Chain A
Amino acid sequence: MNDIDDSPYSTHEQVVFLLPWYVNNTLQAQELHAVTQHLKVCLLCKRELSNLRQLANAVQHSPSAEVAAPTLAFAQLKQRLETPPAQPSPEIAEVSTLSRAAKHRLLGKWTAPQVLALAASVALALVLPRILPWDSSWGTAYRTLSDAQVKPSAAHSLRVIFKADTAPEVLKSLLANTQASKVLGPDTQAMYTLEFNDDVAQPIILEKLAQLRQNAQVVFAEPNYGLVSQSTVLAQ
């Protein structure tokens, strides 16, 4: 509740909004004092007070709706209390938490057969994977980057592209510094494929890769990743 200015002449704007509760006798002491004092000097509020008293009287004498007897109504509630709560499946429970309004928004434009067809489709989608037999050895006809396997040799192989203006002696020196053997290259994209001996540790290979990337003459340096063919996977 807000504090009210004590002056009866400066509180009109606050008092006029308190008058409804002056009429129902619920104002607290400070509010009551301010309103009482203001009413002594304000004709507008006196008139409003008269109107509000008529309004209060009208509300109090307005009829209530005719409803069932409380005994009968409570019997219905008691029946509800004694009905054990249903144990819906998780999927159904999630839907049932929607408000009736939300359901209307979601399904309001769908006819009953359409809703049933949708429900049947969802049920099939959930059930079919569980009842159909599946053998993981079947594999799949499609492979993507996300399920690709790295060639076993890739861990010891790099692919490098040098700038076109790299002098042959510089190129030779760079390749020699990697301490890897040149397997292929340059191909049509000017790419060299380098391969390290099997006994070279992975950290050393990564260090060589980092050195290549830092060199201004190198425009591309990556491990020699590649996809294993489907026939290779099935043969393993």
Chain B
Amino acid sequence: MDTGNSQQEQHQRALIQRICERDQSALELLYHNYYPRLTRFIGRYTWRDELIAEVVNDVMFTVWEKAETYNHQCQLSTWIFGIAYNKARQALRNINQYSEDSLEDIALDSMLGIQDSGLKQLEQQDLLESAFKVLSPDQRAVLELTYFQGLHYSEIAELMQCPENTVKTRMHYARKALSIELKQHADTFLNE
């Protein structure tokens, strides 16, 4: 992502200014700039390829409509990914595929001290890929925003509009769920 890249951020903010002035060519530039990252994020969040194109266009349509409401208090990318998160979440709700993971919001304090054996069995990419399916959309979002988009947890909390500890908790549960899933795969493989 563009953290630390002030030149790119300034360029994108100039694009937003032009979008406020209803310049469609500026929107097209911003669209091309964000298209790979948005398709990636929405695809990983929803785990449904057929939703990606529609949600990306919903996001950029909202950027076009709401550009004047961007207050420059956060990075532009955080603002746009926040819209993407909400649109993707809404899309999943609309097809009745999404349910909140109540475990995710358990207070961080109640979980301290929990450790596990880790991801030692991680050897094959496709194994992990299948393991990702067991995660909730919000857990996948935290993983994706951390390791693919490179965001700090405070930025993720701002984007997902939740407390910072919730982000940490989601990451922790994602790690545990992946560990358990991969261990089961490994046990099955060894018993065959």
Contact = CB atoms under 8 A, between A and B. Distances in A.
Interface string B131-169: 010000000000110111011111100000000100010
A65 B39 contact: yes
Given A77-B31, A101-B96, 10 more contacts: A17-B172, A18-B168, A24-B147, A26-B150, A56-B147, A59-B143, A62-B128, A65-B52, A68-B53, A73-B56
| Interface size, B (range) | 35 or more
Interface string B39-67: 11001100001001100110011001000
Contacts of A20: 146-147, 153, 168, 171, 175
| Interface size, A (range) | 35 or more
Interface of B: 3, 24, 27-28, 31-32, 35-36, 39-40, 43-44, 49, 52-53, 56-57, 60-61, 64, 90, 93-94, 96, 108, 112-113, 115, 118-120, 122, 125, 128-129, 132, 143-144, 146-148, 150-155, 164, 168, 171-172, 175, 178-179
30 contacts: A1-B164, A2-B164, A13-B113, A17-B172, A20-B153, A24-B146, A25-B150, A48-B118, A51-B118, A51-B179, A52-B175, A54-B119, A59-B143, A59-B147, A59-B148, A62-B128, A64-B36, A65-B40, A65-B43, A65-B52, A66-B49, A67-B39, A67-B56, A70-B36, A73-B56, A74-B31, A74-B35, A76-B53, A78-B24, A99-B90
Nearest to B179: A51
Interface in A1-60: 1-2, 13, 16-18, 20-21, 23-28, 44, 47-48, 50-52, 54-56, 58-60
B175 to A, nearest CB: 7
Nearest to B157: A1
